[in-house]
Amino acid sequence: MPDTEQRERYWDTRIGTDGRWRVDRATGHAGPPPGADLAAMRSGLGRPAGEAWAVWAFCVSEIDERLARQDLMSAQQRAEHAALALYGLHQQSQATPMHKAGVRPGQALRALRASGKFSEQAVDRRVDAAATAARPEALHIHLRGLITQLRTVALPLDYNALLDDLRDFEHPDGRSRVRRRWGRDYYGWKPGAAKA
């Protein structure tokens, strides 16, 4: 199997660096992914990595043979499974791309809070529950609700950044880094900004 860096992730094959739909070579059509692809990805929601057969077709992470012999999945594979499932949920019924390079998860959630569609306190509670989750599986559950809200107001996020955060969250020291990133982005910290 080719190295992950050599194969594009699903959302990158569909959305160009300019944030617009790419033209599908097979159909000559530019637009949202086929509904069947998104439904296949959503079949992974709430299921452990590797158990939703349809999601495998969209995975590009290399299989760690040492773990595979033990019937285990790598942190990268678990993160990729979760990111694909969440992308399938987010992009569902959306005419515009829900993956946008450079919009980190904390920034997208901050935009959700500012959207006015949901109370700021309710969004704060959901984001707090996600950021303080003790286990990756709990984070995935909380993200499912937040992604549904992002979809409601058509706010995109960078799924490559989310995938990286999900992978980092698999490790205790990585959880701390993810929480710091999300906190800075969600609360709008800017370098050099001092409070009186």
Q: What is the CATH number of domain 10-187?
A: 1.10.520.40
Q: How far apart are CA 155 and CA 115, in angstroms?
A: 9
CB distance 6 to 60 below 8 Å: no
Q: What tokens does 23 get?
A: 């033209």
Phi, psi (rounded to 5 degrees) for 63: -85, 130
pLDDT confidence of residue 3: 45
Distance CA 33, CA 55 (A): 15
pLDDT in tens, the chain (196 residues): 344 446 799 999 999 989 999 998 878 888 999 999 999 999 999 999 888 999 989 999 877 777 766 666 889 999 999 999 999 999 999 999 999 999 999 999 999 999 999 999 999 999 999 999 999 999 999 999 999 999 999 999 999 999 999 999 999 999 999 999 999 999 987 666 555 4
- pLDDT of res. 63: 75
How far, in Å, CA of 103 to CA of 164, rounded? 13
CA atoms within 13 A on the CB side of 20: 5
Q: Which amino acid is at 81?
A: H
Helix (H, G, I), strand (E, B) or coil at 157: strand
Give the pair of three-digit tokens for residue 188: 């709008």
Q: Which of 108, 159, 166, 160 is nearest to 137 (CA)?
A: 166
For residue 188, the number of C-alpha atoms closer than 13 Å in the C-beta half-sphere is: 6
Q: What are the extents of the domains in the chain?
A: 10-187
The answer to whether 84 and 47 are in contact (CB under 8 A) is no
The predicted structure's pLDDT at residue 1: 38
Q: Which pLDDT score is estimated for 193? A: 54
